[in-house]
């Protein structure tokens, strides 16, 4: 269909144009009526005059959110405050919307998140919601562009696997012909195999699945993960790559759509790098001095992370986590027994993501399996890659939806997910 976009209308040309979009509103007077027409670039005022339209009476009874095309000419000196004004010569209804709408598109009524998600197709017609996903697209493009400039190769690894990435029971089991299989928690093991194969820098953008039974505003059971792995690197190299990836993504967004974000009330600033680093033991000592230290063997709670995070204005790293809080593939700190070359990226009390230097010696890796109560023989496909020349390597995995939620200040990660999958939602 040949058409013009609302944002590209130039009334000075005086030429005939054809628009296509949704009827956002309609106002009917005696011999003239007005449609507010919306496409993904903006809104326009369509002026309907009885003398110009043989089917005028039918058109003015059209329901809101119906899909139409309009052919006409732009008014050069319009006084319309809605947008460019088009005098309609022909209006065709492509699809008439049922009434009433299950969810308002322009009505100033706030709906709860479940109501919105149940009618997501209408919820995303609201500009303040659809722009979230334009943001995600832009920031992901910026991260991709940066990683490619750093000689990373984009790869695609299996999502149906024979064993858990990190052990444990947080897995979705699937029947794979005559075998039992799982939806992958992470591309971690395959990224490392590729490092052994000679791909010194790889990244992947793809779905990850966690069968955790929480149901919070920050967690999903299916999410989009941005993962990297880099050879001849340690956790410090990985942290530098992470902070620069995020900065580059934000720069891309601001170049691409800063004015649109501001118009929708979203404020975004380029984060200053490098991000501050604070050791896990320093965090523990800080909490202990206030009588808030975690119990032995426990992770930091949101309240404890809030105390730590209040010391920083933006992103910061917590480094050097204890071995008991990290997966089997995390490299122990050779200079600090019981701790690891690992990190979490935080914003206030919110964990953005985690990463680490990985174990690259097969003997140590087998020991780490056993320490975690896992059987090395269940991971032979992975261990084989370490027995024939594996370089030191490091990496991280970053959730796209969580990053979006944090940067835009959203209240719920489901707002940054087109069709969320959580503890209770499997449709739409």
* 351 classed as catalytic: yes
Burial of 404 (0-12, 13-18, 19+ CB in 10 A): buried
Three-class DSSP labels, 163-225: CCCCCCCCCCEEEECCEEEEECCCCHHHHHHHHHCCCCEEEEEEEEECCCCCCCCCCCCEEEE
121: which 2 tokens? 């197709």
In the set 186, 354, 401, 414, the catalytic residue is 354
* 218 classed as catalytic: yes
Using only C-alpha atoms, what is the Rg of the chain?
Answer: 27
In the set 342, 402, 414, 415, the catalytic residue is 402
* 290 classed as catalytic: no
* 235 classed as catalytic: no
* 258 classed as catalytic: no
In the set 150, 200, 212, 222, the catalytic residue is 212
In the set 85, 229, 351, 366, the catalytic residue is 351
Please name the residue that has the structure tokens 């820098």. Answer: 201
**CA separation for the pair 46, 64 (Å, rounded):** 14
Burial of 335 (0-12, 13-18, 19+ CB in 10 A): exposed
* 210 classed as catalytic: yes
Q: Is 87 helix (H, G, I), strand (E, B) or coil?
A: strand
In the set 127, 218, 277, 423, the catalytic residue is 218
* 120 classed as catalytic: no
In the set 96, 145, 219, 260, the catalytic residue is 219
In the set 210, 247, 360, 368, the catalytic residue is 210
**CA separation for the pair 386, 356 (Å, rounded):** 17
**CA separation for the pair 118, 131 (Å, rounded):** 19
Instruction: Report DSSP letters for 244-266, one per residue.
Output: HHHHHHHHHHHHHHHHHHHHTT-
Q: Which residues are catalytic?
A: 210, 212, 218-219, 351, 354, 402
């Amino acid at each position: 269909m040949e058409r013009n976009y609302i944002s590209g209308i130039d009334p000075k040309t005086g030429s005939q144009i054809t628009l296509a979009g949704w009827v956002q509103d309609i106002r009917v007077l005696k011999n003239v009526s007005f449609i507010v027409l919306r496409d993904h670039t903006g809104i326009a005022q369509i002026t309907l005059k009885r003398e110009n339209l043989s089917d005028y009476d039918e058109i003015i009874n059209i329901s809101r959110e119906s899909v139409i095309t309009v052919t006409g000419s732009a008014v050069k000196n319009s006084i319309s405050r809605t947008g460019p004004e088009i005098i309609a010569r022909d209006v065709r209804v492509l699809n008439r919307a049922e009434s009433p709408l299950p969810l308002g598109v322009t009505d100033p009524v706030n709906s709860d998140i479940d109501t919105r998600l149940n009618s997501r197709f209408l919820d995303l017609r609201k500009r303040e919601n659809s722009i979230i996903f334009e943001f995600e697209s832009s920031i992901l493009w910026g991260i991709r562009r940066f990683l490619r400039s750093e000689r990373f190769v984009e790869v695609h690894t299996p999502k149906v696997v024979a064993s858990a990435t990190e052990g444990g029971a947080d897995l979705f089991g699937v029947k794979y012909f005559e075998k039992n299989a799982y939806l992958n928690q992470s591309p971690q093991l395959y990224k490392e195999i590729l490092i052994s194969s000679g791909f010194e820098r790889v990244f992947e953008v793809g779905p990850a699945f966690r069968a955790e039974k929480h149901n919070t505003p920050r967690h999903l059971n299916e999410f989009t993960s941005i993962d990297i792995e880099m050879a001849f690197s340690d956790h410090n190299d990985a942290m530098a790559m992470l902070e620069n990836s995020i900065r580059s993504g934000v720069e891309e967004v601001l170049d691409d759509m800063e004015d649109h974000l501001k118009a929708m009330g979203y404020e975004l600033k380029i984060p200053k790098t490098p991000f501050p680093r604070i050791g896990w033991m320093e965090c523990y000592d800080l909490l202990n001095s206030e009588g808030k230290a975690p119990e032995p063997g426990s992770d930091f709670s949101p309240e404890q992370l809030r105390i730590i995070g209040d010391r920083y204005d933006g992103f910061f790293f917590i480094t050097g986590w204890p071995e008991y809080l990290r997966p089997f593939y995390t490299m122990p700190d050779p200079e600090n027994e019981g701790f690891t070359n690992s990190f979490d990226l935080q914003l206030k009390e919110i964990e953005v993501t985690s990463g680490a230097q990985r174990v690259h010696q097969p003997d140590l890796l087998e020991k780490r399996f056993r320490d975690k109560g896992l059987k090395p023989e269940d991971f032979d496909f992975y261990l084989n890659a370490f027995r024939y020349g594996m370089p030191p390597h490091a990496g991280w995995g970053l959730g796209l939806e969580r990053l979006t939620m944090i940067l835009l200040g959203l209240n719920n990660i489901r707002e940054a997910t087109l069709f969320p999958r959580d503890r209770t939602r499997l449709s739409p």
